[in-house]
Structure 1
C-alpha cells in the first residue's frame, strides 16, 4: 500500500520549437522576455538566487537550483502551500529545439493547483512561442 502523503505528481509539457536553444534560453532567463510570456520577475540565471514571479493573483517564491546555459534550468516554485520544482530541458533537434518543462512535487491533495498547472503551462508555452517568433 502506497503512502499517499509522500506520493507526488508532476506536470510535464514537451514541445518541439523551430528556434535554436540559445534563443529559447534567452526567453527563459531574461526578465523583460519572461514577463511577456509568463510573469513579472526579478529572475537571474544564477544558482541560489532568490526571486519572485508576480501576477495579479499573487506571487510565487522561487530559488534557482540549477543553471546549465542553453541546456537546463531549474528553480523552486512555492506558492500558497505548494512546494514544487520547475525544470526546463532544452535539446537541439534537426529542426530546432525540443523544450521540456516539468513541474514536480504536487501532493495528492493539491488537486486544484495540479489542475491549474496542467491547464496553465500549455498556454504559457503558446505565449512563449509567440514571443520567440517576434523577437530577434
Structure 2
C-alpha cells in the first residue's frame, strides 16, 4: 500500500448478534457458508493462504478479488487482503463475546482519497453482506 495511513479511510460495520463467536466464526471461514453471504471463494482459514472471491452480478460483468489471509485467531480475529480494481485494502473481522452473544466488527481499511466510488460502494456493500451473514446465521445450527 502506498501513502501514509492517515491518508486512507476505513469502512466499519458493527453489529451485536445473539450467537456465540464459534457459530459466527464458522460462517466467516467455511467456504460454502461464505458463498451464501458474500461470494464464491476458495477460502481456507490458514495464515498466508491465497484465495479469490468471485462475483458475476451480470452476465457481462465478472469481479475477481484477490485475497491473502494475513492474521487468524480462531473465534476472535480474521484478517485478509482485498485487492481488486485498483483497491489494495485489508478486511479485518473481530468477534468479541458479550453477555447476550457476540459483537461483530468488520473493518475494511485502505481507501485512498481518489477512491470515493469504491469507498461508497464498500460502505453499502458491507452493510448488505453483514445483513446476509445474519440471515445465514439464523438458518444454521
TM-score (norm 1): 0.95
Runs of 4 or more off by more than 6 Å in structure 1? Answer: 3-6
What residue is the counterpart of 1:79 in the other structure?
84
Counterparts of 1:14 and 1:123, CA distance in 2: 12
Aligned partner (choices 96, 110, 125) of residue 120 of structure 1: 125
**Per-residue deviation, 1:62:** 0.2
- 1:7-22 to 2 correspondence within 5 Å? 7-22=7-22
- 1:1-136 to 2 correspondence within 5 Å? 7-56=7-56, 57-136=62-141
Unpaired runs of at least 5, structure 2: 57-61
Q: Secondary structure at the match of 2:45?
A: coil
Q: Secondary structure at the match of 1:78?
A: strand
Give the RMSD, CA atoms, in angstroms: 1.5
TM-score (norm 2): 0.92
Number of residues paired by the alignment? Answer: 134
Counterparts of 1:4 and 1:118, CA distance in 2: 22
Unpaired runs of at least 5, structure 1: none
Residue pair 1:6, 1:107 contacting (<8 A) in 2 also: no
Alpha-carbon deviations, 1:23-51, whole Å to 9, x = none? 00000000000000000100001000000
Residue pair 1:4, 1:108 contacting (<8 A) in 2 also: no
**Per-residue deviation, 1:5:** 9.7
Counterparts of 1:91 and 1:135, CA distance in 2: 20
